Structure 1
């Protein structure tokens, strides 16, 4: 068995049906199929004796108990492909019924590498507005209309399914204010005051957005190198296009001039690093580092016990200041640290004092590039 998790519209259905065209396919989003499966689970699964694809299986978690029995009786592997977009519900059901029986994979929207097959402008600020959902590139949809529908159809509906949401306008305000804090450490009390909700409510809403793959956290890295470090995570959007839409940024020119330009560019790059790792079946071990004085490294990748410091800059012109923070990080005396990389928006690729300077849009596979030492 294989279970594929990820945000709605990230291409889970298309991927599974293209990979296994001969398998019977059922979407539990369809009310009639869901009712039939709920009324007679054994009869429903009898049509899938040799396996099949069950889409959005979190809509009927009880079905997994019956699948468990079928899998245990099967003499060969590879019977079922499950997809889901609500992580907690699916994880709970899997941990109870399918532990040790299924591989867990994650699929996010397109990576920079994947959109190269389309006639998409090679401009990071255009990509920030356009986003990376497959339909935007495959069908040439207008991003503003797509994200408006995406919010109403999926995000708000999924939120209602997970929590008792009384005031939708308050949640919409929360989403917009959260987008304004992209790439920043979010103070729940401060955000709650701005929204008009308690810190507990904000924490619950944030957990729902993470569970539905709307946002993800970048945790802080800390060792006993200093007594005080920042221990709260940063928040990024799984698709930077949704963050730009919530901020009212609809053109590349707007994005390039916006005060949050650097944060949005950072979101684009870090999300792409995560996608490249997930597409290889790797759950990336990534962090940021900031001490109590505000000294910070944008991204730390830990792979095989080795740390790779990464600085991310939206500027097209290189400055030696970009390297100073990496040199500061090396001065802390941590063991097994690679020289480091600066990812920026310029055209030149070179090295300076052992640090690689790259444009992430020029790299074939950003995960492999960052986790392998420079030759």
Structure 2
């Protein structure tokens, strides 16, 4: 059992909120996390809406659930039963107390929409990601393993590289052939698979729907619809550009990433670390690993962004609060993390409070008379968590 960073947060929220929702991609560990609360307290009741028997048991949700007024009820894949949400609102309003319901879901937009419509003011939503570096031993070997295999538990914990890769390929096939249909997207599976591969080949690049549309022989509107569909599975991140009126010609398109580096490598046929280090995607693959690790420990109210001008000034990642850039970050996949000229130009324009370069090394290295620091990933995460 790998201890999850979110466990203590969930424990705190259960003591404060009537309804706690945990969202995350399928197979990232939501059910395993929730079952830890069952082991802790035998009065917890668990329903899995992928199980027909549990679906049948909740056909009349108010009648089925009102008997558990003083006990935690966990409902997995809650978004599959929209009528559940108004029923939970009624039950919570009848007896409002912390820790009544825990809802798990793999479809973030559906769960968020249903929660906003029916459970406003009664629910707090948390996101569980695949494994984080802070949850495993952060040794160099484990960092490399997390980078190559990704953080999904069955992939990361697989006995060998071949088993891990096979699991990731089957997982992606299930997403394309099964999950998107369950989300209401009736998309041709083979075309969607090609779309995913195209995203992988353009990973970390500016979103160009016209280019992808031409490659797949579909319309630009259809390409955007495909991206919206796959984003609902929580497997894709759109990183938005930061705009500030500085008289610069700024890039306004988002960058699109496959959020788990292991899934990215599976789509590209990268089998091991040696192949990854010789592949053109190495830099942007390391980039998304870093982005997802930092996103997991952002202080409350902070946002992610990037900066790029048409003249070539660029900052890979910005951490933003209240419209101000708190930290500007260059992400380097090599062990000689010297910042690029475009990074310094961007920092001169944006005047961030801190300047970081994040790289896969072990030492903290100062640049620019100590104003810029090269940091290992775990050091950067710790510095962010200290600001919470």
Q: How does the TM-score come out when normalised to structure 2? A: 0.86
Matched, 1:357 2:374: yes
Aligned to 1:289: 307
Cα deviations by residue, 1:67-115 (Å, 9 ceiling, x for unpaired): 1111011142221011111122212211111011001111111111112
Aligned to 2:360: 345
Matched, 1:367 2:384: yes
* Structure-2 change in CA distance of 1:350 and 1:164 (3 Å): closer
- How far 1:315 sits from its partner (Å)? 1.1
- Aligned to 1:83, which of 79, 104, 107? 104
Matched, 1:302 2:323: no
Q: Is the 8 A contact 2:325 2:353 kept in 1?
A: yes
Aligned to 1:223: 244
Hey, what's the Cα distance between the residues in 2 that align with 1:349 and 1:363?
A: 10
Hey, what's the Cα distance between the residues in 1 that align with 2:91 and 2:208?
A: 47
Q: How many residues align?
A: 361
Q: Is the 8 A contact 2:294 2:381 kept in 1?
A: no
Q: In the TM superposition, what are the counterparts of 1:8-27 in structure 2 within 5 Å? A: 8-21=26-39, 22=41, 23-27=44-48
* Structure-2 change in CA distance of 1:163 and 1:54 (3 Å): closer
Tell me which moved more, 43-52 or 291-300: 43-52
- Aligned to 1:330, which of 347, 350, 354? 347
Cα deviations by residue, 1:286-329 (Å, 9 ceiling, x for unpaired): 1000011122100010136442110001111233xx15333212
Q: Is the 8 A contact 1:129 1:143 kept in 2?
A: no
- Aligned to 1:311, which of 303, 315, 330? 330
Hey, what's the Cα distance between the residues in 2 that align with 1:120 and 1:34?
A: 45
Query: Could you say what the CA RMSD is over the residues aligned between the two structures, in angstroms?
Result: 2.2
* Structure-2 change in CA distance of 1:92 and 1:166 (3 Å): closer
Q: Is the 8 A contact 1:128 1:255 kept in 2?
A: no
- How far 1:155 sits from its partner (Å)? 4.4
Q: How does the TM-score come out when normalised to structure 1? A: 0.89
Aligned to 1:42: 62
- How far 1:133 sits from its partner (Å)? 0.9
Please list every run of 5 or more consecutive structure 2 residues that lacks an aligned counterpart in the other structure: 1-18
* Structure-2 change in CA distance of 1:316 and 1:272 (3 Å): same
Hey, what's the Cα distance between the residues in 2 that align with 1:213 and 1:283?
A: 20
Q: Is the 8 A contact 1:316 1:347 kept in 2?
A: no
Q: Is the 8 A contact 2:169 2:267 kept in 1?
A: no
